Chain A
């Protein structure tokens, strides 16, 4: 187990990168604390797999260093890094039995036979495949194969880190829950440093202590699920996390008020002079509907009942936004105004969050 430090790390797939756009992974400094579970969240092509492959040593970064604890492993081959990785598609050795598959990483490292068989038994119990231990891996379902891959990743006790590259993509939904829960309990049990790449926010939020959100080759926010929900550091985080995502209104900011669609809205705190494109972000959970009175004029387009709550699709100044009405609350008849809960308001300049002046010092 190890602390992993990324020092000035960047990667480009081009031989001779010119501008920032040529980098699949933009310059990054980050420390993955020993024993924490991280989720690396982002849409496809945002550089998260690139980052993971650099950590596992399958890819050499164009610049910067990687340290495991305090040892520079930037140019160390994968085998020397002592990490385990589980891939998106199940990788099993077809001609081997399940038992041989699980024992493979240990045997290759010359582990003692008694230890190997005990360890394989433990892992098989964990992934629930004790009954299938002597079956050939070929011909098993994708679920079972991916469980073997997970098991092979966890069979070594001394790994520096466990990396997961969207490992549950091919798994049935009900199995996803089970495996994710298992992973989480394994993490509690053994305290491995885990990095879990996914584009599924539910997966990221339920699995990880800290979620690292990536966008366009850049890490835009690192935080607990709650921080990502309440204070998205970038409009992408607001949009990507939450269902539906955060509403982002173009606004003119003036001190502690904003003008949205011709209406003045109180921001609850003063903001300094802002440069660039200014926007106000409000999650649908913090949007209230009223009939008449104060607020930004809005037209209700449709109401989607998703069971636990209702999602109201709104039209403000030609743009579509959403609000959420909790179970039991109904949409007021003739609703044509929206107001925002002050604690749910975030202000953005050029897509990055700006902290209010009275609360300076908070991470922007």
Chain B
């Protein structure tokens, strides 16, 4: 193939480059700037080198938050992905009820994060919340503001409620793209329901599921608003996820240097995990194709 080489094309990319540098690169660089300096206010800065990074890496506080964060992401992935697939498999394929289900499934996705948090915060309250009051009335000891396990259950159920739809909708789209002939052939081959799922539906959904898992991982790993509104990171530090801890450090304690180092490492973790995940998934795909 004979490609036309034209350096002027760079000019077409320029507006995007300018926008991205103002919206992402420059703010990121200021964070980098904070992370290698110390300040005592008055706009005076002193060179600190990698000291903040060292300090953060030795600090148990960040490791604990990271552990909680990993646990949170693992749990919601383990619930939302199978549940989303299960919902998608049971949604009607066409007609009025298909559209109805699609709208219903989209509703949680349209609600802003802090509203979701507020909904669940109230929902779980013992005095006026439907969930909390009912659980208390039937004799189940539930109190998300006092009990760490209850707090965890609440934020996990909330996330499942908010985001399973996304997995379900993506999986549903994958399912809809399977031609009828596959199901007919499976009938003729006398494949069981499980084999239809294992050998037809799951392989055809694998592409969208990769995206779904990636999106859910990234989103859950940097989640802030919802758990913050519900539990504020408590009781104690039980639900203090990475981002909540980061905000406490940066804006609560105004430790700009350590917080900047923290956020850069946080960013790198998401980047590395996503990259590893994506590479592994696409390589599996390629290996299969050989």
Chain A residues engaging chain B, CB cutoff 8 angstroms: 56-58, 77-79, 83-85, 87-89, 91, 93-96, 104-105, 108-109, 135-136, 138-139, 149, 152
A-chain residues with CB within 8 Å of residue B192 when the two chains form the complex: 108
Q: State the total of A-B contacts with C-beta under 8 angstroms.
A: 63
B203 touches A108 (CB 8 A): no
A-chain residues with CB within 8 Å of residue B290 when the two chains form the complex: 135-136, 139
- From A56, A136, A138, A139, contact of B188 by CB (8 A): A56
B199 touches A95 (CB 8 A): yes
CA distance A104 to B195 in the complex (A): 10
User: Looking at chain B, what size class is its interface with the partner chain?
Assistant: 10 to 19
The reply on B60 being an interface residue by CB < 8 A is no
B289 touches A138 (CB 8 A): yes
Given contacts A136-B288, A136-B289, A139-B288, contact A88 B191 (CB under 8 A): no
Give min CB distance, A269 to chain B, whole Å: 49
Chain B residues engaging chain A, CB cutoff 8 angstroms: 179, 181-182, 184-185, 187-192, 195, 199-200, 203-204, 288-290
Give min CB distance, A10 to chain B, whole Å: 22
B184 touches A108 (CB 8 A): no
B-side interface mostly? helix
A-chain residues with CB within 8 Å of residue B289 when the two chains form the complex: 136, 138-139
CB closest residue in chain B, given A159: B188
Given contacts A136-B288, A138-B289, contact A85 B195 (CB under 8 A): no
CA distance A301 to B192 in the complex (A): 62
CA distance A15 to B216 in the complex (A): 44
Given contacts A105-B190, A108-B190, A108-B192, contact A91 B185 (CB under 8 A): yes
B-chain residues with CB within 8 Å of residue A109 when the two chains form the complex: 190
A105 touches B189 (CB 8 A): yes
A-chain residues with CB within 8 Å of residue B204 when the two chains form the complex: 94
A-side interface mostly? loop
CB closest residue in chain B, given A81: B188
CA distance A83 to B189 in the complex (A): 9
CB closest residue in chain A, given B184: A58
A-chain residues with CB within 8 Å of residue B189 when the two chains form the complex: 104-105, 108, 152
Query: Can you name 13 extra interface pairs (CB under 8 A) apart from A95-B288, A108-B191, A109-B190?
Result: A85-B184, A88-B181, A89-B179, A91-B182, A94-B204, A95-B203, A104-B189, A108-B189, A108-B195, A136-B288, A138-B288, A139-B289, A152-B189
CA distance A107 to B113 in the complex (A): 50
B-chain residues with CB within 8 Å of residue A56 when the two chains form the complex: 184, 188
CB closest residue in chain A, given B204: A94
CA distance A89 to B288 in the complex (A): 21
B181 touches A79 (CB 8 A): no
CA distance A79 to B203 in the complex (A): 23
CB closest residue in chain B, given A57: B187
B203 touches A78 (CB 8 A): no
B199 touches A96 (CB 8 A): yes
Give min CB distance, B165 to chain A, whole Å: 27
B-chain residues with CB within 8 Å of residue A138 when the two chains form the complex: 203, 288-289
CA distance A218 to B270 in the complex (A): 64
Give min CB distance, A167 to chain B, whole Å: 11
CB closest residue in chain B, given A108: B190
A-chain residues with CB within 8 Å of residue B288 when the two chains form the complex: 94-95, 136, 138-139
